[in-house]
Structure 1
Amino acid sequence: MNAELDLLVRLGDYERPRDVADRAVQAENLGFDRITVGETTGWNIVPPLTLAADRTDELGISNDVISPYGRSPALLAQTALTLHDASDGRFRLGLGPSSPAITERWHGQAFDRPLRRTREAIEVVRAVYENGTPAYEGEIFDIYGLNYERDVPENPPPIDLGTLGPKATEMAGRFGDGWAPQLFTKDGLEDRLEDLARGAELAGRDLDDLRVAPIVRGIANEDRDLARRKARGTIAFMLGAYGPYYGDSVAGQGYPEVVEEIRAAWQERDTESMAAALPDELLDELAPAGTPEEVREWVAAYGDLEGVDAVRVGFVNEMTEEEKAVTMEAVADLV
């Protein structure tokens, strides 16, 4: 496989923040290029990623993704610069518009103008990087500005955007340093890469200037049927219950009837019917799920798509520790 290999871990799977560092050491020993974690309503990302950085030497450190509704732009810059120093320059900052549920029901903010807020947050972070101050006048943020009390590094953390739609992805190409999409078929990803390239062109760049690292959630098990049952439940839940965006994206990739049926089942909270509504064809398009050999071949083919720089492999629900180890070892053979 020509692409790099990232490992996405879920903080909710661990009992203590330092357990994430143990996973990072395991990933580095297996040859993964980068570890990344998400942040929703559980742990703050900074402690576990700081511990992971301290325990590793070369492994890249990332997050997928944090929201401009949950942190002020200046705090986003502080978070990035802190993790940059903790990792000796191995950190990449992941930002994304988030969702109405997390924004409104956790952070207590109105989910208003998410793309504009994300763009301005990026510009404020870059202002801190370049000028040592968040001073900024925009439509969302109007900041007089104080000075960052430390020296800003010569090469501050790159900014990756987690987006799905065409306009949001164009924004990622124009203002970001990388793109971390999720739940894309191969054809769907290739279509969206055109939007990313258009945004990059508007900024006087091309796709080679951005790190494209799509997220895929999978599971390897010699018991193929078990692996696919667990993956099917996870993907169906993401399409039907994770807010509108994932479902809308996959519907736009050619599966509107499937998404409609899964959403209807979710209205009844019928998770078995949700999973049953996800056909093998779509499961095969979206997730590496099956025997270790099948998962390895799937990830290799995805990583060989033109424009993909890394495949970010995450786990599905209900996986045992043994299944996680088997899955990591299966894809690690590609590096």
Structure 2
Amino acid sequence: MRLGLNLGYLVGSDDPAGQLALTRHAEDLGFDVVWAAEAYGSDSPTVIAWLAGQTSRIDVGSAVMQIPARTPAMTAMTAASLDLLTGGRFRLGLGVSGPQVSEGWHGVRFDKPLGRTREYVDVVRMALARKTVAYEGSHYRLPLPDGPGKPLKLTIAPLRAEIPVYLAAVGPKNLELTGEIADGWLAIFYAPEFAGELLGRIGTGRERAGKTMDGFDVVPTVPVVVGDDPVRCADPIRPYAALYVGGMGSREQNFYHALAVRMGYGEAAAQVQDHFLARRHRDAMAAVPFEFIDSTSLLGPVERIAERLRLLADSGVTTCALAPYGDTVEAKLAALTAVAEAL
């Protein structure tokens, strides 16, 4: 199992120099990859390019580039440019986002996400292979049939013949699609004890495509807090867990809430959601079970973290993407060092 770093996305109070310091430290520690995210603030390609220009060995990846935010051709252009400019260090992570961001921010209907993702990846791969792009799908048609457009071919070549494509997936059908059409899976709230169901879905997709799990990259983002008391270490993660389980989407459509229910936390997830949607955020954070945070994070002293890393590796994780928590950049740097020692 390799280590990675997930920086998340920049928020208003973040100092970008801190993200660069974390990335350089991860590179010095021998981490395999650093991932940058986007929602409706900083975009991942700009952050990735900035980090890649100030590093030399560590891979850089988007976790994710939002499918509703860009045409597949634009994504192929960006991926090819980043792969060329980084010396072949780029990994393309894609995700459909959610209804609130897709429709509220990008103005793109959140309908038939599975079919849209399949066609999107088809077009991206076709363009990156430098084929003349002519595609007739239910969601994407290139060129448009009733205008002056003509089939075109990408004018630059990525450094590698194939740029690895990752999908962020939570639901069962999306997990199967990820196994079928992607090279890796970007996971969230990954618990080794529940991995069998999730990776079983991935495996079903691999079988459908005539492939095995060999070479497929399983990449959960795992929060990290180092300290003597695992219970107290869970507290900084509570706002993140409460936001996703309780408020990332509507009551009727929240993929992370549904995942928590499938993991056996149905009653607690309902309480978290009730509190969060009623804007009782402190109550929502308090309602997140310690067991849920503990099973999906790395908490406590180095020895305990080492035990959890072994469980992650044994469950099928191939790259553990760390999300370090701490009040200062120095604390986060120390957390990365501690996990590298634990590994």
TM-score between both structures, scaled by the size of structure 1: 0.92
1:289 counterpart letter in structure 2: L
CA distance in structure 2 between the partners assigned to 1:167 and 1:196 by the alignment: 9
Question: Quick one: structure 1 residues 314 and 163, their matched pair in 2 at CA, closer, same or farther if it must change by over 3 Å?
Answer: same
2:61 counterpart letter in structure 1: S
1:310 counterpart letter in structure 2: T
1:155 positional shift: 2.1
Select 1:325's aligned residue among 330, 333, 337. Answer: 333
1:259 positional shift: 0.5
CA distance in structure 2 between the partners assigned to 1:18 and 1:50 by the alignment: 14
User: Per-residue CA shift, 1:288-319, capped at 9, x if unaligned?
Assistant: 223344334323421232x3211111135x74
| 8 Å Cα contact 1:296/1:330 also seen in 2 | no
Q: What residue number does 2:155 align with?
A: 149
Q: Where do 1:168-207 residues align within 5 Å? A: 168-207=174-213
1:277 counterpart letter in structure 2: A
Identity percentage of aligned residues: 30
Q: What residue number does 2:216 align with?
A: 210
CA distance in structure 1 between the partners assigned to 2:159 and 2:87 by the alignment: 11
| 8 Å Cα contact 2:128/2:157 also seen in 1 | no
2:4 counterpart letter in structure 1: D
User: CA-atom RMSD, angstroms?
Assistant: 2.0
CA distance in structure 1 between the partners assigned to 2:306 and 2:205 by the alignment: 32
More moved, 223-232 vs 120-129: 223-232
Regions of 4+ moved over 6 Å: none
Select 1:255's aligned residue among 262, 265, 274. Answer: 265
1:216 positional shift: 1.4
Q: What residue number does 2:146 align with?
A: none
1:278 counterpart letter in structure 2: V
More moved, 72-81 vs 154-163: 154-163
2:225 counterpart letter in structure 1: I
Question: Quick one: structure 1 residues 16 and 281, their matched pair in 2 at CA, closer, same or farther if it must change by over 3 Å?
Answer: closer
| 8 Å Cα contact 1:17/1:51 also seen in 2 | no
User: Per-residue CA shift, 1:133-168, capped at 9, x if unaligned?
Assistant: 332110100012322112354423110011011110
CA distance in structure 2 between the partners assigned to 1:322 and 1:20 by the alignment: 11
Select 1:311's aligned residue among 299, 303, 320. Answer: 320
Question: Quick one: structure 1 residues 19 and 267, their matched pair in 2 at CA, closer, same or farther if it must change by over 3 Å?
Answer: closer
Tell me the matched-pair count.
331
2:260 counterpart letter in structure 1: V
Q: What residue number does 2:135 align with?
A: 136
SS at match of 2:53: helix
Q: Where do 1:156-167 residues align within 5 Å? A: 156-167=162-173
CA distance in structure 2 between the partners assigned to 1:201 and 1:297 by the alignment: 31
1:64 positional shift: 0.7
Q: Which runs of 5+ in 2 are unaligned?
A: 144-150
CA distance in structure 2 between the partners assigned to 1:26 and 1:95 by the alignment: 26
Q: Where do 1:1-335 residues align within 5 Å? A: 3-12=1-10, 15=14, 20-144=19-143, 145-222=151-228, 224=230, 226-243=232-249, 244-305=254-315, 307-316=316-325, 319-335=327-343
CA distance in structure 2 between the partners assigned to 1:80 and 1:334 by the alignment: 34
More moved, 274-283 vs 15-24: 15-24
1:275 counterpart letter in structure 2: M
Question: Quick one: structure 1 residues 93 and 228, their matched pair in 2 at CA, closer, same or farther if it must change by over 3 Å?
Answer: same
| 8 Å Cα contact 2:175/2:198 also seen in 1 | yes
| 8 Å Cα contact 2:219/2:321 also seen in 1 | yes
SS at match of 1:181: strand
User: Per-residue CA shift, 1:5-47, capped at 9, x if unaligned?
Assistant: 0100023157565654333211101221110010111122222
SS at match of 2:69: coil
TM-score between both structures, scaled by the size of structure 2: 0.90
CA distance in structure 1 between the partners assigned to 2:22 and 2:272 by the alignment: 33
| 8 Å Cα contact 1:93/1:160 also seen in 2 | yes
CA distance in structure 2 between the partners assigned to 1:40 and 1:72 by the alignment: 17
CA distance in structure 1 between the partners assigned to 2:342 and 2:133 by the alignment: 42
Question: Quick one: structure 1 residues 226 and 254, their matched pair in 2 at CA, closer, same or farther if it must change by over 3 Å?
Answer: closer
1:324 counterpart letter in structure 2: K
